Chains A and B, each alone.
Chain A
Amino acid sequence: MLGLTQMGCSSVTIYHYPGQEDRPHIPESTEQRLKQCVEELKDDINAGFYSVDVKVKVDEDGNTVDVETKGMPNPNVGTCMRIALQGMRLPQDVVERGMLRTSASANGETLPDRAQIGEVVTIVVVTVVFTEIVIEAVAITIGVTVTATVAAGVASSFAKRRKEKEPTCEDRYVACMDDASIADEPGNHWRSSLCNACRVTCKKEKKWPQSVPMGSGTESCIYKGY
């Protein structure tokens, strides 16, 4: 393994594995964040070679929606790298190039007409394999291979089957009603509360609102606990 495209000059170095010039690179900002993980946590990593396999799911805009990793040196490095990869956004040209390649796939097969098959909801699924990156510190070598699946339709159903994590509108509402600064504030109508008005708007906008319409203006949904 020879160092090409070496980046950075600290005790930790990062480079692209040679011989994979036909593959795209993950964004440089993500590479730097992965490198930072090793820089920060290298003292806790046992000496040796690690082959880390990362599978990310991205939406059609290139945003990462899920990350799976295998072969991490230890859980803390795994957590750090997963955070770095969760924030990754693939360049649109990489996503589009992948889509194009799939639609012109072998045997001239085209996508089925959805009208005839009714229940099938997946539109396009493509896989992009990136150039392996190698991160080296003293006596530690970590090879990271990232494979991205671009899936329209699949990403949302994948996320959906798991329970919605906090902070949901309900969680905010519970905290709102538990906060002395706002819990007893009336809503816009008799026998209604401001916290509930904020919760209803939260359900519609998928975010706890800054304010809700009230009387001749708006009332703030901010409570001191937040």
Chain B
Amino acid sequence: MSQPKPKRTMEPEELAFVQAHSALLIKSLKPTRNFAEAVEDFRKLEAEFVERAGDNEFDVQETRRRIAETILDLAHDKHPPFEVCREAWNDMVRLGFSGIDVECNMSWFYADCCAYDELPDDGLMVLEPLIAKLEGLLEETKGTGAEYPARFYENELEGLGNLREVLNAQKRGEFIPERETRREDEAAPPITPEEEQADALYDEFSKARLAIFKTYGKSRSRSFADVASDYRRIEAEFVAAAREGYAFEECVLDIRARTAEAILMAACSLRAPFPACRDAWAEFVRVGQDKSWMYPTMYVKACLANNEPEAGLAVVEPWIAEIKQKLEEPKKPLQPVGETRVTLKRQLKDLHEFRDALLAKVPQPG
């Protein structure tokens, strides 16, 4: 992190690894693939690329590290017994971290595994020294005037600090409602047949929706009208297939939300005429569920590109107010997982830039 790196492009062998790794990761993250199967796949990939690296020690070491990181990541995701997560962490420590960012991410995964199994001491043993290290690194940046890596350290200190508070609360025997734990997951009631059927219907809808995205995602060669019509067709098809009952009602809401999100994305990325973007945005506001910054950002950019500053300001102004309010709220003792204050401040800065750009396009009287 401390060494500025110029932007680079991947070398062919590196790209081959990244592509093979990605294909395997996508396969492994599916709920149908268990942890042991995923590890076996990644060990094979490791063996293949270590062999291809030959005598290049750096290549060999970094390949082994990427695989170890992925195995810890999957352990965090798939919740095998805690000992497996600990082994993955120990393997990571043995190989060493490629940078402070990796050390922070992997420590967070492991400490979060500890919180899931309600083993606070194990997690704190890793977090405490890392937080002290980050505090020292942040101190060193003072007076340099450089935004990075100071912002990075602050962000990690906040995220890791929040997790430390969770572990400390567990240590005091407190119950934390929003935290997932193995104990709660195992005590949760089983999924009903109706819920299973609704999930299966949703999965099929997702596949159909992704297939439509793939028809234009890379090429951008289709018209918005055609893509939107495809999305509407599958929405109607799957809504019609939903039966009665609350699980299906919930599924229909999800289908409608995903369709609205997909159409808004298509409108913005395929440069649809502005009225189509505005309609897609209105539908997204009505039924969409995604709370990320992405969709509003896409729409505001479309407003800018189409010279529609008032429409953009109608989104940006309340958004700025919302973030300001979040930043003014006092920090809770147990902060829910989510964006850090550092991230919110950066978003606010971006939004002010958007607002300035939009205001510059507002016609002046006279």
Contacts and interface: CB of A to CB of B under 8 A. Distances in A.
A115 B253 CA distance: 40
B184 interface: yes
Given A78-B249, A216-B5, A156 B177 contact: yes
Interface stretch (B18-26, B274-282, B312-320, B358-366): B18-26
A163 B158 CA distance: 29
Nearest to B286: A83
B63 A119 contact: no
B258 A186 contact: no
Contacts of A152: 177
Interface string A107-151: 000000011000101010000000000000000000000000000
Interface stretch (A6-14, A19-27, A200-208): A200-208
A173 interface: yes
Contacts of A44: none
B18 A121 contact: no
B339 A162 contact: no
B217 A157 contact: no
A205 B340 contact: yes
A18 interface: no
Interface in B199-225: 199, 202, 206, 210, 213-214, 217-218, 220
Interface in B73-99: 73, 76-77, 98-99
Number of chain B interface residues as a range:
35 or more
A216 B148 contact: yes
B338 to A, nearest CB: 6
Contacts of A99: none
Given A79-B249, A191-B63, A205-B338, A226 B213 contact: no
Interface in B247-265: 249, 252-254, 256, 258, 261, 265
Interface in A158-196: 160-163, 165-167, 170, 173-175, 177-180, 184, 186, 188-193, 195-196
A153 B181 CA distance: 12
B4 A216 contact: yes
A210 B184 contact: no
A204 B73 CA distance: 11
B199 to A, nearest CB: 5
Interface of A: 60, 68-69, 75, 78-79, 82-83, 86, 114-115, 119, 121, 123, 152-153, 155-157, 160-163, 165-167, 170, 173-175, 177-180, 184, 186, 188-193, 195-196, 200-201, 203-211, 213-218, 222, 224-226
Interface of B: 1, 3-10, 14-15, 17-18, 21-22, 25-26, 29, 31, 58-59, 62-63, 65-66, 73, 76-77, 98-99, 101-102, 105, 108-109, 146-149, 152, 155, 159, 173, 175, 177-178, 180, 183-185, 187-191, 195, 199, 202, 206, 210, 213-214, 217-218, 220, 239, 242, 246, 249, 252-254, 256, 258, 261, 265, 269, 286-287, 290-294, 297-298, 337-340, 343, 346-347, 350
